[in-house]
Amino acid sequence: MWISQLDLVGWRNHERSSLNFEQGVNVLIGPNGQGKTNVVEAVRYLAHLSSHRVSGSASLIGDDAAQATIYGTFAHGTRDVSVGITLKRNGTNEATVSGNPAKLSEVPRWVSAVMFAPEDSSLVRGEPGFRRQFLDDLVVAMSPAMAGTYADFEKVLRQRNSLLKSLRNAPRSADTSTLEVWNSSFIALGAEIIHHRIDSWKKVAPFVSDAYQNLAAGQAITAEYESKGFGLEDEATRTEIEDAFAAAVQDVSRTERERGLTLVGPQRDDIELLIDNRPGRTHASQGETWSLALSLRLGVAAWLRQERPSGDPIIILDDVFAELDTQRRSRLVSVISDYEQLLVTSAVEEDLPEGLHGKSFDVTRGQVVAR
Ligand SMILES: Nc1ncnc2c1ncn2[C@@H]1O[C@H](COP(=O)(O)OP(=O)(O)OP(=O)(O)O)[C@@H](O)[C@H]1O
Ligand SMILES: [Mg+2]
């Protein structure tokens, strides 16, 4: 798949930008802070309904705008599909597919993108939240309907937390029937998410492993899903996950009431990445960190390419070349250069490796001009 047209209105520092992309390589050039990442972040948003930089949508809406709109036209073989999303400061966000009103969660069905960004080293070295986001993006790419499950889960988690907070100082005898009602959806939705995360990772792991072998010959990587508060067998079924999760919720119920906070669930889980059996988070060298971070993205891209009927994902390279040594640059380019479309950003053209030249756009103060 590839994106032929992107229109941004009130998106970050882009009051109104319109870009005609080509199949193959597209390059956004401009000094720091001009709005290059903002452009590719919008494409990523259509694919994942989230930003790689912030949670929530407040900062995505232009400072002087009441709402932010992204329109994109995507070529799927011979078929073009246009999608749009409007994020509102006040009121409900809206989406369209082929001009018709649609649920927000319908949009990622038509858009697949894999983004490489400087922040990716956090996948290996950073807080568990980065790895959860990686898995959740993967889950939604594999099963778009899960976007709805995530939204429901977040709602239930918020309600459950505020209920626990209000019960915190309540007498022991306080009525907890509302909490029990929330618990059943919390457990069902949470187990669904954990199940999908484990399942998605299983599918993509061989591709990640291959990519890593290719970048850093010889070393083996493995990964284990860690559910906070309970253990899971390797081949745990959906029902076994739900039972274990329900038991863990039961186990912490007293502490949760004392602390007024949810203490177990997918919102606290992690995936432990091991390089030669050592945890990457604490043991990986700088080079290993980058090789593994790139491999995680490359593995997802390779999986999507093979499995999604809509063809290749759009490959986004946001400012990554400055981070890589010559050998990794050329290995990365050799693997991704035959994808249908690449969107590349760079502050200076000189940082772009050979073979990554195509249609160029200058980005200045939120304005985009094609060369
Ligand atoms: N909601 C917003 N409204 C207006 N401007 C915003 C908003 N969010 C971010 N910006 C501005 O956008 C600019 C950053 O844009 P972006 O991250 O795309 O830069 P960039 O061109 O990728 O720069 P770099 O080369 O440093 O990565 C900053 O000046 C920031 O203040
Ligand atoms: Mg940037």
> How would DSSP label each residue in 178-232?
HHHHHHHHHHHHHHHHHHHHHHHHHHHHHHHHHHHHHHSTT--EEEEEE-TT---
Q: Give the nearest ligand 1 atom to 62 CA.
A: 3
- Residues 69-114 have pLDDT tens digits of 999 999 998 899 999 999 999 999 999 999 999 999 899 889 999 9
- Domain 119-307, architecture per CATH: Up-down Bundle (1.20)
Task: Please name the residue whose Cα sits nearest to atom 30 of ligand 1.
Answer: 33
- Residues 166-213 have pLDDT tens digits of 988 788 778 888 899 999 999 999 999 999 999 999 999 999 999 998
Task: Please name the residue whose Cα sits nearest to atom 2 of ligand 1.
Answer: 12
Burial class (CB in 10 A: 0-12, 13-18, 19+), 337: middle
pLDDT score at 299: 95
Centre of ligand 2 to C-alpha 344, Å, is 10
- CATH label, 1-112+308-371, candidates 3.10.20.90, 3.40.50.720, 3.40.140.10, 3.40.50.300: 3.40.50.300
Centre of ligand 2 to C-alpha 37, Å, is 4
Equal CATH topology for 1-112+308-371 and 119-307: no
Task: Please name the residue whose Cα sits nearest to atom 27 of ligand 1.
Answer: 32
Please tell me the number of the ligand nearest to residue 35's CA. 1
Task: Please name the residue whose Cα sits nearest to atom 7 of ligand 1.
Answer: 12
Ligand 1 pocket by C-beta < 6 Å: which residues?
Answer: 12-13, 30, 32-38, 59, 61-63, 319, 347, 363
| Unique residue bearing structure tokens 């989406």 | 95
**Percentage of residues of the chain with pLDDT beyond 90:** 70
Q: How confident is the model at residue 272 (pLDDT cuts 50, 70, 90)?
A: very high
User: In whole angstroms, what separates CA 234 from the centre of its chain?
Assistant: 24
Please tell me the number of the ligand nearest to residue 42's CA. 1
What's the whole-number average pLDDT of the chain? 92
Task: Please name the residue whose Cα sits nearest to atom 18 of ligand 1.
Answer: 35
Q: Which two tokens stand for residue 89?
A: 């400061």
Centre of ligand 2 to C-alpha 347, Å, is 8
> In degrees rounded to 5, what are phi and psi of residue 55?
-100, 155
Q: How confident is the model at residue 317 (pLDDT cuts 50, 70, 90)?
A: very high
- Residues 41-79 have pLDDT tens digits of 999 999 988 888 888 889 999 999 999 999 999 999 889
Centre of ligand 1 to C-alpha 176, Å, is 46
Q: Which two tokens stand for residue 5?
A: 């047209």
Q: How confident is the model at residue 270 (pLDDT cuts 50, 70, 90)?
A: very high
SS3 156: helix
Centre of ligand 1 to C-alpha 88, Å, is 19
- Which sequence spans correspond to the domains of the chain? 1-112+308-371, 119-307
